[in-house]
A and B are shown apart, each in its own frame.
Chain A
């Protein structure tokens, strides 16, 4: 029942949002639905909900972990969105880059799609059948495409088009991967019967899976879901979509959607691990992870647009997640923990970037100066976010990055550890230059702090996210630690 409620609450809310007329009610509906979703998710911590539909939907440790992240982020983003939509609801506006006139998408469509998007993401987390998982991941793409196109001008249209096409093609390859897995499982059951694509059945029957087909399936699933996760070199849609969509959507894309695709890869990895092919899968993950970090480092250092900078930082962190799972051991634990930290921090940064965009009306790193003076709260959060995302102690990211490094060193993989540290250092320098420059100095004459209305709504959600990341660094609560350990154990790792 609880699982059904988790999926149905946002679905119903989304459908209702298309029908509700008064803008204030609709915004209330958005926050109310987000709150209810978060409450049910919190209840799932107290008692794991029972599987429904004969086990097709169930909540295991990775599911609960990523569901909690998504739910918390969505609640924060919904509150932020209320202030954002109030600021944006002034009819036609002028594009600050080219001076074109454009309108926003109808707010009903935006809020409706936002809620349906939450429903599809929830379905990803709770599906135990790989086919349903695939359907849900593709549905997240379709529900979020209209969100990227909130500002109806040609740049956001281009970003939406790339997102739709690149992700759909990637996910079509993941479907082929699912079919390959089906072929691998065709004769793996008792008496040569086929094993269904249910996770539990696949894990039980894994040793009998046909190895070459399994390997091919893993490659396709990795490339397919990796496209959506933003692993280089399939990340091309990511910087465009993240920079052109409204900041509240960027926050959700980076903090929640990328995790959805990561869940898809984790499921495939679980099967490979159970089939005794963990080494093969792990090597692929390590390679793609380091490559993503490398690509991110190159583009971060030479970046001139601060939202694209944050997007490339997401590519980097997705690389770290893949690397952690690939290294295994304490790395798998670190990776799961890192996912929590990264989602919260990146959502915080995108929301703060939205505030900066409102005040300065430019995305250029060079044009933004003196945020600390113009809007002190935004400036402080911007600096705190910088410290958090680069993994400065005592923020949580420091410890999760450290446990991945420790795992690499424990296994005497010094080359990987050195490359990891080197890339992190380059990225640190790139981010420091951009972030500190924006925070300090005199604000230019074009900056208009008075444009940032509804300041509580604009600052409270990112501040809470930042505080949580800080607290996670200072003390990891027992319940979360157990959940992370359980997740890591499913991936063949642990502390």
Chain B
């Protein structure tokens, strides 16, 4: 019951993200979603969480709720890029596409065989919805930061599914996966920094200056 409530909140953060017009707001929503998703391993086991689940949850809340948003805000500040998300498609359209994705997620869930080992009926559809909206964000946003957000949402979806249905996997593997995601966002953050610098460098006026020298 608690789990399904949490998952409804996750779905709402997703819709909020699709409608968001400001980058700062988007990053905060993704951070909130990271915290919510980080709680899944604690709520998923029916007989209460073990210490592994607690460690995993703590790590992932800290990483997705705090470290990654901090990294992205820093990239945003240093890059001094525009504060708008600059979508290729309008906010209303992407919200409608998000609702369609939600429908697809529930339809897909009906076609998948029944999940054993979890009582949360919303688990698989929520995870699928997050994966689909992550892909949607990836293809419909112009700015590199928004694409990173799309990747994080996609990964949150995969994580939710994994943590929900396989609470007993090895801690080492879970930690490795988290570390990889962190490293991926970190490397993407560095790339963001270079992209911003490169685009300043590509300023037509400065280029002719260099040639004259």
**Chain A residues with a Cβ under 8 A of chain B:** 99-101, 129, 131-132, 134-135, 138-139, 141-142, 145-146, 149, 152-154, 157, 160-161, 164-165, 168-169, 172-173, 175-176, 178-179, 182-183, 186-187, 194, 196-197, 210, 212-213, 216
Contact = CB atoms under 8 A, between A and B. Distances in A.
B82 interface: no
Query: Dominant SS at the A interface?
Result: helix
Interface residues of B, number: 42
Contacts of B9: none
Interface stretch (B31-39, B44-52, B56-64, B181-189): B181-189
Interface of B: 112-113, 115-117, 131, 135, 138, 144, 147, 151, 154-155, 157-158, 161-162, 165-166, 168-170, 172-173, 176-177, 179-180, 183-184, 187-188, 191, 194-195, 198-199, 201-202, 207, 210-211
A157 B119 CA distance: 46
B177 A175 contact: yes
A168 B151 contact: yes
Query: Dominant SS at the B interface?
Result: helix
A169 B138 CA distance: 9
28 contacts: A100-B207, A131-B173, A132-B173, A135-B173, A139-B180, A141-B184, A145-B191, A154-B198, A154-B202, A157-B191, A157-B194, A157-B195, A161-B144, A164-B191, A165-B151, A169-B135, A169-B138, A172-B155, A175-B158, A176-B158, A176-B161, A179-B162, A179-B166, A182-B169, A183-B115, A186-B116, A187-B116, A216-B112
A157 B199 CA distance: 11
Nearest to B157: A176
A211 to B, nearest CB: 9
Contact of A179 (B161, B188, B199, B202): B161
Nearest to B210: A101
B177 A161 contact: no
A190 to B, nearest CB: 16
Nearest to A174: B158
Contact of A135 (B131, B176, B191): B176
Contacts of B154: 169, 172
Contacts of A132: 172-173, 176
A194 B167 CA distance: 11
